[in-house]
Structure 1
Amino acid sequence: MSTPTPETPPERPNDTLSNDQKGTADERVDGTPLNSKPVDETGAKEVPPTDISLISGDNKPRHYKIDNPSFFMQRGYQVLLVLGLIAAFFLVMVYQTLFGRIEQPQQMVTIEKGQTYYGLLPQWQQEIPLFSATIAKLYMKTQVDGPLHAGIYQLPENPTIAEALHVLGQGVKAAMVKVQIIEGKTSKDLYQALRDNKGIKKEVLTADSTNASIAQALDLVGILPDTVANSNDPIVNHNLEGWFAPDTYYYGEGTTDKKVLTDLYKRQQQALTKAWENRAPNLPYQSPYEALVMASIIEKETSVEEERPLVSAVFNNRLNKSMRMQTDPTIIYGMGSRYEGNIRRKDIDEKTRYNTYQIDGLPPTPIALPSAASIEATLHPAKSEALYFVATGNGGHKFTNSLTEHNQAVKEYLGVMREKKAQTPPQ
């Protein structure tokens, strides 16, 4: 029998070497047989075998042992760095919240009954970067003792929230008294209200005080035109009418009338200055004081908010056309204590410094304490060609462009009043 020849296994892809390769599968890459030991050129000493992994192209990543001390140190430094950055950011936020300043001049702030400390936060949030309402509230809870008391407070220039809270916190220590001046009332009404208020200490409004002594005591002589300061008319001379902002105020018991009047003057001056600087063009007023005079007339003519710019437009149009203003409140103010509730024909015909039926232009001083809204309306009149207005009898006024239309509006008003009188039961 013949010995069987073993089958040659079939070829598989990449099992054979290309013609470009040198050596055989039994040889190393460098041509040395796999089972031979490396020998140097002289054959004297054996060369240690080369680690095949260094030349085999094996790119497996190396692994650190988790118990390696350097691994934990690296991770620890990274965590500390992150925590340090977070702490630094938090400290900056705390500092900005409590000590960041808003840009504003020294000013008075009136706190009404029912307002809270949290109501102060939006202004600081809007103006101070990184301001945190949460941090501010936590600070308030730990530092503020008691609720926010109604009153008028003097905040310093460019205050921080911490400084503002300190100032407002002083309200807890004093009993507060209310000073209320309604828009359209006069300076004489204000003086009397302060005289009657037992919680206000009298320094300026003494029994023998006059317009001149009040202006001098408040150091406000310089704000009046020479025609007012040097007038021979007792109503006009040193009259501070219009210069005090009407509103409701709260002061600590024992506050002086000088402080109250000075505060109210500063508020009115700020409102007037702001409105004057942003006034509409081509107005007939030569100074802020003339605008204040007009604002007082508008205040007396209407209490309807949306009508103020229209009333302003009427007077603006009349002055530009050299027409007399012909407004009843000026007659009343010029009559002083002689006014008894009605304007008669002889009152209209009487020529006083204030009767705008008899004089051209504006009266010499304001005739009331105007609100900020009336000051704003004076310097921003509505776009209207109206020259007249008269009450409707049902609230508000009717505005007309011609005398004919105005006379018809007057007839309608009188008809409404006759109807109301007829429907009123006899007493």
Structure 2
Amino acid sequence: MSKLTPETPPERPNSPLNNQDDTALPNSQPATEDVKEIPATDVSLISGASKPRKYKADNPSFFMQRGYQVLLVLGLIAGFFLVMVYQTLFGRIDQPQQMVTIEQGQTYYGLLPQWQQQIPLFSASVAKLYIKSQVDAPLHAGIYQLPENPTIAETLQVLEQGAKAAMVKIQIIEGKTSKDLYQTLRENPGIKKEILTADSDNASIAEALDLVGILPDAVINSNDPIVNHNLEGWFAPDTYYYGEGTSDRQVLTDLYKRQQQALTKAWENRASNLPYNNPYEALVMASIIEKETSVPEERPLVSAVFNNRLNKNMRMQTDPTIIYGMGSRYEGNIRRRDIDEKTSYNTYQIDGLPPTPIALPSATAIEATLHPADSEALYFVATGTGGHKFTNSLAEHNQAVRDYLSVMREKKSQTPPQ
């Protein structure tokens, strides 16, 4: 068999080799033309039956490159996760040092939305896992002092202390007076008495709390013992929980700060054309609105009535002011002589607002004072069936009064004798 060469020379048509078999005869003569032998091509180059190729050290394989890419991605994911964990536990929300009230039944998880809104990359899932692993006791109701710009970790540390302390409940209902508040604190055995001693009065309480500048000069210098240094209205009504042994000074200071914050916020966002010269006058009105109705939807309407009367230089003529001015003399009924008696508070006898608030108003009453309803009503009277009837004229008001008296007579007739 002739050996293959990289390039086989073209066949000559008349060559006797073209007619020969592949196997040469024994006696055949070699070709007269010399053929130069050329080394055979390495078949492995064609068949691929070679040893694995060896790559140079500075030329990584495709798989090695893929490995580096996977490691890079995993590293980025791990880095993002670490940043997220750090932001969740140590990211700070923007708020001043303040007190927070935790109500009965609240949970740690309920605190998370505030951080979610203010901290980038905050993860509620990470926070919940941290709470589950680090906090043993449930969230305890109480009043807690949070530091300025706290982290969730710092907040949890503060709140955990509440579970280790015995708590006392202090309930102050909207419309109650500062006198009621003082008595509640005096009677609570878990509250340490520093201010509310047996002989304390308005002046000594105001001096002990050092609330400089919050009372008008007319209140500070008044000869009326009810008016003089009266801190009425300045304490926020609510239900509070304090650690056993907390002082009455601390409680009163905390409740004052909360009321001041609510009043300042409402005053800054007040409606226009109101008849109040300063926040304190608005606080006085809020206390009257609080006493006049317990129906939240009616408060803006009651506010509108008093707003309209003051703008028309009409006397307010509100019964709760008579009662407050009577002090301990009030026995449950207002008589004609009580209406005719001129006290510092009787708005049937004095023009404008009374000198101080007459109760502890809620934040909603303060809001209603500074955002009265769009109404021209000048009068209102109870319906006898719940709520009040608001009217624009005296004739309409007198009819509403007659309707009320009729309802009350009907109710009395249906009441079985005792």
Alpha-carbon distance in 2 for matches of 1:66, 1:235: 103
Amino acid at match of 1:110: T
Q: Kindly state the Cα deviation for residue 77 of structure 1 after the two structures are TM-superposed.
A: 1.6
In structure 1, the residue corresponding to 2:315 is in which secondary structure?
coil
2:298 aligned to which of 279, 301, 307: 307
In structure 2, the residue corresponding to 1:178 is in which secondary structure?
strand
1:339 aligned to which of 308, 330, 335: 330
Q: Kindly state the Cα deviation for residue 128 of structure 1 after the two structures are TM-superposed.
A: 1.1
Tell me which residue corresponds to 1:378: 369
2:351 aligned to which of 346, 355, 360: 360
* 2:387 paired with 1:391: no
Tell me which residue corresponds to 1:351: 342
Alpha-carbon distance in 2 for matches of 1:151, 1:66: 74
TM-score, normalised relative to structure 2: 0.86
Alpha-carbon distance in 1 for matches of 2:321, 2:68: 81
Task: Could you tell me which runs of 5 or more consecutive residues in structure 1 were left unpaired when the two chains were aligned.
Answer: 1-32, 37-63
Contact kept in structure 2, 1:297 and 1:367, CA below 8 Å: yes
Q: Kindly state the Cα deviation for residue 221 of structure 1 after the two structures are TM-superposed.
A: 3.6
Contact kept in structure 2, 1:275 and 1:375, CA below 8 Å: yes
1:401 aligned to which of 384, 389, 392: 392
Amino acid at match of 2:248: D
Tell me which residue corresponds to 2:34: none
The CA RMSD measured in Å over matched residues stands at 1.9
Structural mapping, 1:179-190, within 5 Å: 179-190=170-181
**Residues 86 and 230 of structure 1, relative CA distance in 2, 3 Å threshold:** same
In structure 1, the residue corresponding to 2:303 is in which secondary structure?
helix
Alpha-carbon distance in 1 for matches of 2:267, 2:133: 44
In structure 2, the residue corresponding to 1:154 is in which secondary structure?
strand
Q: Kindly state the Cα deviation for residue 106 of structure 1 after the two structures are TM-superposed.
A: 1.4
Q: Kindly state the Cα deviation for residue 34 of structure 1 after the two structures are TM-superposed.
A: 8.4
In structure 1, the residue corresponding to 2:298 is in which secondary structure?
helix
- CA displacement 1:254-313 (0-9 Å, x = unmatched): 000000000000000000000000000000000000000000000000000100000000
Tell me which residue corresponds to 1:77: 68
* 2:70 paired with 1:106: no
- CA displacement 1:333-363 (0-9 Å, x = unmatched): 0000010100000110011110000000000
Tell me which residue corresponds to 1:251: 242
**Residues 82 and 68 of structure 1, relative CA distance in 2, 3 Å threshold:** farther
- CA displacement 1:90-135 (0-9 Å, x = unmatched): 0110011001111111111111111111111111111111110110
Contact kept in structure 2, 1:112 and 1:150, CA below 8 Å: yes
* 2:137 paired with 1:141: no
Structural mapping, 1:225-236, within 5 Å: 225-236=216-227
* 2:198 paired with 1:198: no
Q: Kindly state the Cα deviation for residue 73 of structure 1 after the two structures are TM-superposed.
A: 3.0
Superposition misfits of 4+ residues, deviation over 2 angstroms: 33-36, 64-69
Tell me which residue corresponds to 1:156: 147
2:157 aligned to which of 152, 157, 166: 166
Q: Kindly state the Cα deviation for residue 158 of structure 1 after the two structures are TM-superposed.
A: 1.2
Alpha-carbon distance in 1 for matches of 2:113, 2:54: 51
Alpha-carbon distance in 2 for matches of 1:267, 1:115: 20
2:114 aligned to which of 123, 128, 135: 123
The number of residue pairs the alignment matches comes to 371
Contact kept in structure 2, 1:333 and 1:354, CA below 8 Å: yes
Amino acid at match of 2:337: K
Amino acid at match of 1:161: I
Alpha-carbon distance in 2 for matches of 1:127, 1:66: 57
Identity of aligned residues (%): 86
Tell me which residue corresponds to 2:204: 213
1:240 aligned to which of 201, 225, 231: 231
Q: Kindly state the Cα deviation for residue 230 of structure 1 after the two structures are TM-superposed.
A: 1.1
Q: Kindly state the Cα deviation for residue 65 of structure 1 after the two structures are TM-superposed.
A: 7.0
Alpha-carbon distance in 1 for matches of 2:204, 2:72: 70
Task: Could you tell me which runs of 5 or more consecutive residues in structure 2 were left unpaired when the two chains were aligned.
Answer: 1-6, 11-51
In structure 2, the residue corresponding to 1:417 is in which secondary structure?
helix
